[in-house]
Chain A
Amino acid sequence: MKGKSIGFCIKKTILYLLLILLGTVCLFPFLLMMVNATRSGVEITRGFTLIPSNHIKENWETVFSYFNLFKGMWNSVKVAVPATLLTAYFSALTAYGLAMYKFKGNSVIFYTIVIFMMIPGQLGLIGFYNLCTKLHMVNSYAPLIIPAIAAPGTVFFLRQYVLSVLSPSLVEAARIDGANELYTFHKIVLPIMSPGIATMAIMGFIGNWNAYLLPMIILNKNEKFTLPVMMATLRASTDIQSNQGAIYLAVAISVIPILLVFSFFSKYIISSISAGGVKE
């Protein structure tokens, strides 16, 4: 091998082994979760094994006697899907408006967006809840969905994106053809922006799907709970010894949808995190 020494090969192998070990640390808890989801509480208490057992049905019954996870998933869908669509569409609209039109106040809006990207979310929490009380929006999905129209981070990213992928001459040409501005946006700009929008939308979806603090504050009726809020009610079940298997199964069921999303869109997800770092 190009005269590389044995020492080099050994070192490289050790590096790979360490990388694989770290990967195992990342995946092992999930493996334990899946194995333990099939074992009864008593079996889990007795000792550690990687061999699955046959108590999945009892665990399933315990989980669903405690809460209906599918209902929670459906509630999460009802929040995360509209919120993601609103973020995707209106962020693209705003980003295009900021990037392609020179109007008074444009840069003020842009800098306000940048400032709000850096403001920690907890700062407005109290005021937000206060506002929702006044608007009689507590225990409805509206406060979790409507604010998605204004997502500063997504607008910021898409503004840079549209500047780099859209040539103004294309828009000019449409104008000469007599197309109105909104029509041009829908028919010409949106398709060109779609890879960037997709990247942000998937991350937005995951964020909405996993959100805990805000839904917990806004929602206070069991039948409205999104999946993470529903999962958090496990807190009340202190009897870990007898219900361990059921808890593992509940966690496993809650994890499956997001793993499915990831298996289809991992490329977009990785590239959106990368974009997060490069945008500065």
Chain B
Amino acid sequence: MVIHMKQTKTKKKDINKAGYLFVLPFIIVFLIFSVYPVLRTLYLSFTNAKIAGVGTMDFVGLNNYKRVLTDKFFWKALGNTARIWGLNIVLQLGLAFLLMMVFSDIKYKMSGLAVFRIIYYLPNLIACTSVAFLFKTLLDWRYGTANQLINMIYKFFGATYNPVDWLGTAAHAGSTISIIQTWMWFGNSFIMLMAGVQGISKDYFEAAAIDGAGRWTVFGKITLPLIRPILLYVAITSLIGGLQLFDLPYLMADKASASYNSVQTVVMYLYKFGFETGTTQVGYASAIAYVLFLIILVISVIQFKLFNRKEQ
């Protein structure tokens, strides 16, 4: 009996060792293609490398970082990113939140969630490049369908419409991109918030109904506090995604247009130094990547702290 026990014990140890084999492929690929690039970028950010791997490069300490902090084009790009993301997040989360309130309302008991959810999510499925060209063509200020449509509505009310250049002017391009971003992402946020509501135990709502609690009480005292972690999750993920905004502004704003400087985001600026022929300064691009990362990190921590403090 004793011998038998000992046997199973050693066997169990061997079995646990098998775990290494299961995670080994992941670890190898992860170290090469995820961890190494992040560390390599860090290393490059302390050098004056022009094109990585080509020519000589010297260690320049914190020079690239100093340059980022004093580069007015970087700050302009950061400001653009914040402005586009700011309007986008207010609209996106606001809309998702309103929809969540409508569909979780205990008085109206709206049906059709499954269908609406799918329709609202649809724009999120389409590749950014397709969305970009669809709207770029629709919003073309001379020939685009959008301005024709607005013109028709104006005419209907007897007014004259002065065609707006939605993408070509600095005053409008940023907001236009924010709104398209919202169009693409509010369904996603809504589904996540709704999943949170559906995850709340029915018992709470039933107990509240027995107590005769009104809909606003139920919303404020049950729904809202219990979906707070998901609100935090949605806020942080959209922050990480939003500050990395690249595809839409990159594809929709022409370099030659007057609006380009007002929609150039941080990642577009990074791309310019990292990859565009003629302007590559890989060391500097790496420093931009790390500065952006630190900014995202700091704001995430602040968001996290704010949400957690309220909970107490």
Contact = CB atoms under 8 A, between A and B. Distances in A.
B160 interface: no
Interface string A81-98: 000000000110110111
Interface string A26-48: 11011011001000010011011
Interface stretch (A53-61, A113-121, A192-200): A113-121
Contacts of B148: 47-48
Nearest to A27: B119
Nearest to A96: B22
Contact of A185 (B22, B99, B237, B292): B22
A126 B127 contact: no
Contacts, number: 282
Contacts of A235: 251
Chain A interface size band reads 35 or more
Main SS at interface, chain A: helix
Interface in B103-148: 107-108, 110, 112, 116-123, 125-130, 132-135, 137-138, 140, 142-143, 145, 148
B52 A130 contact: yes
Interface in A217-241: 217, 227-229, 231-232, 234-235, 238, 240-241
Given A23-B120, A48-B149, A128 B192 contact: no
B26 A126 contact: no
A12 B129 contact: no
A36 B137 CA distance: 10
Chain B interface size band reads 35 or more
Q: Which of A11, A119, A241 has the most CB of B within 10 A?
A: A119
A213 interface: yes
Q: Which of B22, B123, B246 has the most CB of A within 10 A?
A: B22
B61 interface: no
Contact of B25 (A90, A119, A229, A262): A90
A127 B134 contact: no
A122 B44 contact: no
Interface of B: 15-23, 25-27, 29-30, 32-44, 52-53, 95, 99, 102, 107-108, 110, 112, 116-123, 125-130, 132-135, 137-138, 140, 142-143, 145, 148-149, 152, 183, 187-188, 191-196, 198-199, 229-230, 232-234, 237, 240, 243-244, 246-247, 251, 254, 267, 270, 274-275, 282, 285-286, 289-290, 292-293, 296, 300
Top-4 shortest CB links A-B: A101-B19, A97-B22, A127-B40, A127-B37
Given A103-B20, A278-B195, A278-B230, 14 more contacts: A19-B102, A33-B134, A90-B29, A119-B38, A122-B293, A126-B40, A126-B274, A130-B44, A131-B36, A231-B133, A247-B137, A248-B134, A254-B129, A269-B125
22 contacts: A23-B120, A94-B22, A98-B23, A116-B30, A120-B293, A122-B246, A123-B289, A126-B52, A129-B52, A147-B33, A147-B34, A150-B33, A150-B34, A206-B125, A229-B129, A231-B127, A241-B142, A254-B129, A258-B125, A273-B188, A276-B233, A277-B233
